[in-house]
Structures are given as structure tokens and as C-alpha cells.
Structure 1
Amino acid sequence: MEFYSSMNRILGFSVLFGASLAWLLAIGQIFKKGKTSIHWLLAGMLFLLGIWQGQTALNLLDSPSEILAPYSLLNLPAAYAFVPLFYAFGRKLSKQDFETRRWGFISLLLGLASLLLELYYLGYWANQKNLSWKELALAVWADPNENFTPPLLLSFFSYGPRFLSILISGLLVAYASFATGQDADWPRRRASIILLSILGGSGAGLSMYAQWLGRLKSDLHGYGAMIVTLSICGIYFYAQRFPLGFEFSKSSTGAKKSRLTGLDRIAVDSRLQICMETERVFTTEDLTLSTLASLVSFEGPKITPEQLSEFINSEYKKNFNQYVNGYRIKEACELLLEQKDRSVLSIALSVGFNSKSSFHSAFKSFTGMSPVEYRNSSSKR
């Protein structure tokens, strides 16, 4: 028994370190210069994860009920609000033009809804069972009480964040596995995304199993939270190794020595225009940064994928996806108006997109409306 108590304390402090690290990283993203939407997304995700992990740490450390009970009330809203941000962040790493704004709104709605639900049930059952709200909060989220069985809906709802985290981890692994990268670092970035997703899902799985067994104050739950702590550390090292994974639309020339020194920019620009406007290579499905760099080098100045990425960032203020999709969307707009009987899918495939959904997402990002809305609005003029 002494051994398990000592192990709980070790795990508790380790998880507390993970929660503190998550908060520090969140603050770092907030005060980062040149922030983009993904920095705010990461900050929110880490802050909420810190709350979630913090509750687990306090529980494992057998903290006083005066501290643990009110803190436990934040656990469920923070966990539910975390889930949509986790999904959006993971998708953004694999798909640069993934739209994240709606997921912030979904996160806020889920957090508020779960807070209202738990407050309602705590008030209702406190009257029914003649227990204090502190006793009820601890029985549901910290230390199951044999004398009290939480209502079925609340019990079911409390499993939601961990179950959804496992599901999302699997989806992120699948998305990263099938995604096509546009830079030379993509294979390593993809491996990192898959590993971090598996770690997060495994940690959530162990914690969910501990919850099912009614052992939230156990080493099993601690091991699950410890794995999540490792994934938090992994996010930090990922940010250091692949900064462009967090800031796709910004040039990295100010952060490190430029790769463009000595490169004939005018010649590169001229060759790029020939490739895109005359040879129309943008219509090639799954066109990658490496492929485009090879085409530019074939009859122009020799350029590596890394140099081409930096050139597009600094010269056009766009990332590779935005640059290529700009040509594709421009072509699609013309075809939508000139060939009104042609299907949207046929046009999407002809300009280089490999699916209707990716075309729709990119088109709306560039024009503010769907392809059908664009075609119809132009017909009314």
C-alpha cells in the first residue's frame, strides 16, 4: 500500500509538471511576435489541457477537498472545450488551408454547455441526496463514492472528452498518413504528428479505463496522464523543430539565415511564371513543392524545395498551397462562368484538385463563397 501511495505522488508531481508546462507554453504562444491563428489555437488548447491535467494531478496528490472540489468543477468544461481545438490543431498541421475559426466557436459552446449541465445536476442531486456540492463534485470527478451513484446522463457525459480524444487521435493519424506534404520536411513532420496523436490517444485510453474501473485516484489513471504529459513535451519539441508547422503564412527569413543568398530572384520568378501560366503545372493533381522545384530547375536556375518555399513566402507573401491554389481558383472561376453546364466536380479535377471537398474549401477561402454561389451570383448580374 505504501508503494502505491508513493507511486501516486511521483505520478502526481509528474502530471503537475505537465500541466504547468502546458500553461507556460500557452503563455509563450500568446506573447509570441507575429502570431497567426494557429498560435491562438495552440494557446487555447494547451491552457485547457493544463486545467484538465491539473485536476488529475491534484487528485493523485490527495489534495484537500477545499481545493480539489471547486477545481474539479472546471474539469469537464475544460476537457470538452479542449477536444475541438485538439482536432483543429491536428488537422491544421496536416492540411495548411484547413479552416479553424469555427472550431474555436464550437469549443466555446461545448465548454459552456458542459458547465451548465454539471451545475444543474450538482444542484439537483445535492437536494435529492442531501449531500453538499463538494461531496458530489468529488464523487463524480475525483473519488467515486460507494454511497452515491451519479445520474446516468452525467456519468455518460463525463466519459465524453476522453472518448472523443481517442477518436480524434485516430482520425489525425489517418489524415496525416494519407496527406500529401508540400515540403522536404513533410515526412518527418508527418511521423511526429502520428506519434503525438498516438501518445495522446493512448493516454486518454488509459485514463478512460481507470474511470470505468472507478479508479480515478490510482496509478493507472496517473500513467495515462503521464503519457499525455509526454505528448505535451512532444508538442514543445515539435514547435522548436518545425516552426513553419505553426506559422504557414509567415516567412522564416528573420528567424534564421536566408537560403536565398546568391539566388537569381528575377530568373526564379520568370521561370515560375512560365511553369504556372504557360505550362500550367498547377493543373497537376498532388503537385508538391519538390516537383515544382524540379520543374523550375529543369530550364531555369537550380533551386531546392527549401529555397523555393522561402522564395514563395518572401516574394509573394504566401505559402506553397496558397500560391498554387491561387492559380487553380482563378482558372476555376473562369470555367464556372464559361462552361455553365459543366459540373463543379469536373472543373475541380481539371484545375488540379483531387476532390470536391478540397476544392470547395479552397474556393470559399479565396472568394468568400462556394463555387455554386459564385456561378449563380455571376448569372444574376
Structure 2
Amino acid sequence: MSELFGWFSDGMILFGGFLSFLLAIGEFPSERKHRFQVLLSLTLVSLGFMQLSGSLVLNPNAGRDLNLKLWNLPLLYLPPAFAFLTLLAFSEEDFRYKSMHLLFFLPFSLCLGAVSFFRITEYPGPSSDIYWSMNDPISGMGILYLGAGIFSLTFVIPIFKILPQISELKFKILFGIFALDCLIVSLLGIVGLIFHPIFLKLALITVTLAVSLVYYIRRKYFDFPETVRSDLAKVKYSRTRLEGLEVESILEKLNLLFESEKIHRREDLSLAELAKELSLTTHQFSELINNKIGKGYFSLINHHRIEDAKKLLSETDKTVLEIAMTVGFNNRSSFNEAFLKLTQKTPISYRKMCKPL
């Protein structure tokens, strides 16, 4: 029975690793302004490496290799660091990289330095033990593994802070399950380091379940990020910054920018640049479109790009790729995905519907 569980757990962990890599390939965006997708992809890649290396460390044969145990350590600190940044990009429409964000990778850097020290100085005996002992709390690698568990646990806190702000029940449930998965992974990892390695395997299996949930959400609910981000924006802008502004005239000017000047066709258009066109701060502009139009920034831009594309598809003979490039996308795949999401049709099927033979 234990051998059967071993095969099953190893298979689940490896499946989670490879699924993470496949998801990362699918998530990596073609539009360079989607920082959330970039960071989500990096989070998934780091999870993939963590799963694969973890399955080797917990293998009774391969896990005896000291080098494998050592170099697996820094990989445990990467997913929480990237996940922190992903969560920031997810919740902030005008998210920008800052030098202070490098602090998220400080634990990874310290761990990498410690591992390098162990190898260069050929640190003996206790360094080969991945488990943490209360009797000898700072000896060997166990303390570094325990630090990884605690570091990942801190990531759970901002997830649970977001949960009450989500209004739609199905998204609240899905996000809640994901938050619970993250909490269980961290707790099982810590318990496994102190008591028994079986809990470490259960932690990696739970990671696989969390990655599978990400796959389900991204495939089933295309609008999940926008919907949750809109809920967060409502809370964020509960105290308005639009007082004293002529909102209707600003909305008219915004509509003119889209309808007449086709500003959405600029591939490198950013929230800050569009706000500047309206003489607003990024916070004011974000509040304006979320509260008055009911769309986030990327949702608004894609809406106008797809409406523009629908007109070109029905009125011109340009190829789908030419239309995609014209309206502001930089490749056909991202255009097809956005078009399908908003119209439930592919560009080709939409053209056939508008221009039957």
C-alpha cells in the first residue's frame, strides 16, 4: 500500500511540475504591457522547477545526493517571491516594477549564498539533513528549509485580505479554495520538516492541485482577473478622487480619443499615457473607468480594439493578421484570444457571418 501511495504521489508531483511549465507557456503574453501575465508565467516556471527538484529530493535513492538537496533549497524561495509580485500586478492596474520589489528576492539570495558557502567550504555532517530539529534548531540545512516554509506562509496573508473584497460568489469560492491550498502547502511543508517526510509529499501534491485550479480558472473564466480587479478597485476608490472634475466632459473626450483618434491602435499605449491625455492622474483615471464605465484598463482597451477589428473584418478585405496589427495587437494569437473572449467567435467565423459567400 505504501509503495502504491509512493508511485501515486510521485506521479502527482511530476504532473504538477510539467503542468506548471505548460501553463507558463500558455500564459506568457504577446503584449508586453500585461505584467500580470509575465509574472504569473514566472511564478509557474519557478513552481515547475520546485516540483521536479522536490520529487527528486524526496526520492529514497536520488534524495541521498547532498548536491541535489543543497541546490533544491533556493528553488523553494522563488515561487513565493514571484507570487508576491504577481499578486501586486493582479490587484493594481498601474503596477510598475520598482527597485524595492527586489527585496522579495532577498531570502532567495541569502539562501543561494548559504548553499554556495556549504559547497565551497564542504560543510560536513549536519548540512545533509533537510529536517529541522527543536533540539538543534540552527544546525544544517533544516533551518533553511524551515525558512522557506515560513516565507511561503507570509504570501497567504495578502491572499486572504483580497478574499472579502470579491463580490461574485463563484469567484469568491474559487479564490478561497486557492487561498486555502496555499495555506495548506505552507503548513504541510513546515510539519513535514519537523515530523515526517510524508507531509512534504502531501505539500507538493497540494501544489499540483493549486496549479490545476489555476488551469481551470484561466480556461473556464477568461474574465476572472478583470472581475476581481474591478471589485478591488471599488474598495480602493470608495473615497473618490473625482470631486471637482467635469466627469461627463472627460468621458466625452475619452470617447473621442477612441472613436476619432483611434488611440487604442497604439501598441505601446499605457494607463499613465492615456491618463495624461485627459489631464488626470493614474489613480483618477483608473477610478473613472472602473466606477463610471465599469471596466478595468486592459478590458477597456481590448473592448475598443475588438470593436475596431469587427468593423475592419466586415468592411475590408484585409487579412486577420493585418487587422490585428492595425488595431494594436502585435501578433495573431493574442488577437484571436481577445476576440474570442469578447465575441464568442473567432475573427474568421465573424467575417464569414458578416460577409457570407
What's the TM-score, normalizing by structure 2? 0.58
The aligned counterpart of 1:173 is 160
> Which residue of 201, 211, 219 maps to 1:222?
201
Q: Look at both structures and tell me which one has the larger radius of gyration over its CA atoms.
A: 1
State the shift of 1:151 in Å: 4.3
How many angstroms apart in 1 are the aligned matches of 2:68 and 2:114?
16
The aligned counterpart of 1:327 is none
Q: 1:229 is matched by which residue type in structure 2?
A: T
> Which residue of 83, 88, 110 maps to 2:85?
88
> Which residue of 119, 129, 143 maps to 1:156?
143
How many angstroms apart in 2 are the aligned matches of 1:308 and 1:116?
41
Change (3 A) 1:110 1:98: same
The aligned counterpart of 1:27 is 25
Q: Does 1:232 align with 2:229?
A: no
Q: 1:224 is matched by which residue type in structure 2?
A: A
The aligned counterpart of 1:105 is 102
> Which residue of 97, 115, 127 maps to 1:118?
115
Q: 1:43 is matched by which residue type in structure 2?
A: S
Query: Retained in 2: the 8 A contact 1:11–1:60?
Result: no
Q: 1:201 is matched by which residue type in structure 2?
A: L
Q: Write out aligned runs for 1:169-248 (5 A).
A: 169-178=156-165, 188-213=170-195, 215-216=196-197, 218=198, 220-243=199-222
Query: Retained in 1: the 8 A contact 2:130–2:193?
Result: no
> Which residue of 70, 81, 95 maps to 1:73?
70
Query: Retained in 1: the 8 A contact 2:226–2:296?
Result: no
State the shift of 1:206 in Å: 1.1
Query: Retained in 2: the 8 A contact 1:22–1:50?
Result: yes
State the shift of 1:51 in Å: 1.9
1:312-365, Cα deviation, whole Å (9 max, x unpaired):
544499xxxxxxxxxxxxxxxxxxxxxxxxxxxxxxxxxxxxxxxxxxxxxxxx
Change (3 A) 1:52 1:275: closer
1:82-141, Cα deviation, whole Å (9 max, x unpaired):
222112212333333344554763455433321111221355463xx4x5xxx944x226
How many angstroms apart in 2 are the aligned matches of 1:71 and 1:24?
24
Q: Does 1:43 align with 2:41?
A: yes
Secondary structure of the corresponding residue to residue 163 of structure 1: helix
State the shift of 1:245 in Å: 5.4
Q: 2:41 is matched by which residue type in structure 1?
A: A
> Which residue of 5, 8, 20 maps to 1:7?
5
How many angstroms apart in 1 are the aligned matches of 2:35 and 2:165?
24
The aligned counterpart of 2:252 is 273
Q: 1:192 is matched by which residue type in structure 2?
A: L
Structure 2: tracts of 5 or more residues without a match: 228-247, 256-277, 307-357
Q: 1:234 is matched by which residue type in structure 2?
A: L
> Which residue of 110, 130, 142 maps to 1:140?
130
State the shift of 1:177 in Å: 2.0
Query: Retained in 1: the 8 A contact 2:289–2:296?
Result: no
State the shift of 1:47 in Å: 1.5
The aligned counterpart of 1:292 is 292
How many angstroms apart in 2 are the aligned matches of 1:190 and 1:288?
23
Identity of aligned residues (%): 16
How many angstroms apart in 2 are the aligned matches of 1:61 and 1:157?
20
Query: Retained in 1: the 8 A contact 2:286–2:296?
Result: no
What's the TM-score, normalizing by structure 1? 0.55
Q: 2:191 is matched by which residue type in structure 1?
A: Y
Q: 2:102 is matched by which residue type in structure 1?
A: F
State the shift of 1:17 in Å: 0.8
How many angstroms apart in 2 are the aligned matches of 1:199 and 1:283?
36
How many angstroms apart in 2 are the aligned matches of 1:307 and 1:113?
38
Secondary structure of the corresponding residue to residue 185 of structure 2: helix
The aligned counterpart of 1:58 is 56
How many angstroms apart in 2 are the aligned matches of 1:124 and 1:308?
52
The aligned counterpart of 2:315 is none
Q: Write out aligned runs for 1:340-359 (5 A).
A: none
The aligned counterpart of 2:354 is none
How many angstroms apart in 2 are the aligned matches of 1:113 and 1:172?
25
Structure 1: tracts of 5 or more residues without a match: 249-268, 294-304, 318-381
State the shift of 1:173 in Å: 1.2
How many angstroms apart in 1 are the aligned matches of 2:296 and 2:186?
40
Q: What do you get for the CA RMSD once the two structures are aligned?
A: 4.1
Q: 1:76 is matched by which residue type in structure 2?
A: L
Q: 2:20 is matched by which residue type in structure 1?
A: A
